Structure 1
Amino acid sequence: MSKPVLKRSVKVKDISYGRHISIVTPDKFWVSDWNNLTLTDNSGETLKKVTDKAATGGVHAVSNNGKLTYIDTKGDIKIQTNSKTMVIFRRKASFRPTCLHRCASSGDILLGMRFLKNNTYTGIVFRCDRNEEKIIPIRSDQKSKILFGDPKYLAKNCNGDTIISDYTFNAVVVVDSRGTYRFSYIGPPSGSGLRQRLQPEGICTDALSHILVVDTLTDTVQMIDKDGHFLSFLLTKPGRIHELYGLAYDHKTHLLYVGHGSSECTDIVSVYRYIDRQNYILTDT
């Protein structure tokens, strides 16, 4: 790997900061803040807009054929095509969807939810197919310890692991393809130069199975390996940028998209390259 090189910055219209990013093609991506969700190109022009997006973290994703999947304000899951929008999952009783991720190989949806029990939020993650059959419910580890309370972002790694960014426990939680708990990352080790506590936002994985997470306490993008070992601070308040939020890695172009606010509140998405071409590997997340 090399030091991240800024390839371009995009001044997105109708968005105040880049909370979450879903890449459609190398020249188009969906980006959202708290209230808005827009399809934009590399010039920042708004190509399409969604007005009923849920106000939370990673609530949208894109399938292999470019269709947008998102959680709406009611907690239903919708797919948007060129001609229409249809509901594919209905919110269930006290369960509130908080985030989702589309699996590239199967088209299945990883869906993060929370529910209130005894005045405490508990999180759960389902892997769902189009028939609404729930596969691998993930709620606790082998010792029945609750893993997360409020999942806000989801990602899939090249080795089949599911990665969850959780607000309640301030951790990145990782489970394997069977739903078995592997580890939790709660911040860099002592001696790293920054505080150990973590307040995670956006997450993604790259072509080398690294896990990348935004820490809003330190405005850094931290990199760990697939087994949870801290590797580096990939980005540390780059340039005039502050308030880092969303992350997305394009496995076709091997570029990292970073959503943020800036001192002038204009540049919303920055695009970086940090993996040398000879290190590219085929991935399927």
Structure 2
Amino acid sequence: MKTEIVNEQLLKMMSKPVLKRSIKVKDISNVCHISVVTPDRFWVSDWNNLILTDTSGETLQEVTDNATLTGPSVHTVTNAGKLLYIDIKGDVKIQTKSKTKVMLKRITNSLRPISLHYCAFNGDILLGFRESHTKANISYVGMVKRYNNIGKEIQTIQFDQKGEILFGDPRYLTKNCNGDIIVSDYNLNVVVVVDSRGKHRFSDLGPPSESGLRHILQPAGICTDALSHTLVVDTFTDTKQMIGKDGNFLSFLLSKPGSIHELYGLAYDYKTLLYVGRESSECTEIVSVYRYINRQNYFLTDT
């Protein structure tokens, strides 16, 4: 695609990531998920709280009817900076400065919405569901539904081409600029990638055996960058891994394997900045902001 070619010409991986800032978010203990509004404002949640904060770590706004206990990634932000979140009833709400309204009603009591993602490229909304399952060798069966920007359902993704279940516990969702939908599934220990039609492309099971780490993945936070790399936190090995657009393992980002601990939430913003959250109440600074991609054709001012 033309957009992809332009991105590859303008963007280049840096030799190593550069830490831009570290933030202690005062009313959050464990960072499960981050939704970036602007480079200096972002929504962040732990298992109990959802707040809007800035680079000082002060709480600017708080959501009191969120459903963070049902899943770690229950909020996202639109291109216009509006917050979308799953509330305690399982409805998806959209929040503006003046009001909050229901955008998507919960479908059934058995299907629990646990993850949410707004696609900046086309305005689609991805919603991950799970339900208890006793007829298979897994605890849960999951699915992903895609909606347009006014809340109309346009796609359900649940099975691969052979009729096998794709998801068990789709805790985190994202979409890259190629249109692929990428799911971090903690229950099945896998990152599942399907194309825009819902066709299974590949599943990533963790780092290669030659890395010296056990070949297993316990994926948590996930995001994609401007080069269509997938970044995923592996809570089993305490690493953040970079996967290519076709499923090939590229690198351990930020540090050597095993030297960064308790990573969990991830987010990537339009200024090629990566936000990394830690799941640890003992951390002095629990959100770190890095740059690891540079634009090549013009000077980009840091904020």
TM-score bin (small chain): over 0.9
CA distance in 1, matches of 2:78, 2:164: 33
How is 1:1-285 mapped onto 2 (pairs within 5 angstroms)?
1=13, 2-54=15-67, 55=69, 56-93=71-108, 94-118=110-134, 120-236=139-255, 242-251=261-270, 253-261=271-279, 264-278=282-296
Q: Which residue identity does 2:90 align to in structure 1?
A: G
Identity %: 69
**1:53: how far off?**
1.7
| CA deviation map 1:116-164 (0-9, x unaligned) | 3446521100101255432221101100111111100000111000000
Task: For residues 232-261 of structure 1, give each alpha carbon's deviation from its aligned partner in whole angstroms, at most 9, with x where no partner exists.
Answer: 00034799852100010112x101000004
> Does the CA contact (< 8 Å) of 2:158 and 2:167 recur in 1?
yes
Deviation at 1:166, TM superposition (A): 0.6
Q: 1:64 offset after TM fit, Å? A: 0.8
Measured in 1, the distance between the counterparts of 2:74 and 2:294 equals 31
Checking the alignment, whether the CA contact within 8 Å between 1:96 and 1:115 is kept in structure 2 is: yes
TM-score after normalising by structure 2: 0.87
TM-score by length of 1: 0.93
Give a deviation string over 1:91-134, Cα, whole Å, max 9, x none.
12211101011111332211101123446521100101255432
Q: How many Å separate the matches in 2 of 1:48 and 1:238?
A: 36
Structure 1: distance between partners of 2:281 and 2:290: 19
Question: 3-state SS of the aligned residue for 1:242?
Answer: coil
Residue type matched to 2:88 in 1?
T
Question: Residue 191 of structure 1: SS of its match in structure 2?
Answer: helix
Q: Give the deviation of 1:279 after TM superposition.
A: 8.5
> CA 1:184–1:259 in 2, change beyond 3 Å: closer, same or farther?
same
The answer for the alignment partner of 1:283 in structure 2 is: none
Task: Compare 153-162 and 269-278 and name the one that shifted more.
Answer: 269-278
State the distance in 2 between where 1:212 and 1:23 align: 16
1:265 Cα deviation after fit: 2.7
Q: Give the number of aligned pairs.
A: 279
What's the secondary structure of 2:166's corresponding residue?
coil
* Distance in 2 separating the partners of 1:123 and 1:239: 30
- Partner Cα distance (2:281, 2:150) in 1: 46
> Could you tell me whether the CA contact under 8 Å between 1:12 and 1:266 is conserved in 2?
no
Unaligned 5+ segments in structure 1 are: 281-285
**173-182 or 1-10: which moved more?**
1-10
| Contact preservation (8 Å) 2:29, 2:280 | no
Q: 1:133 & 1:203 partners in 2: Cα distance?
A: 25
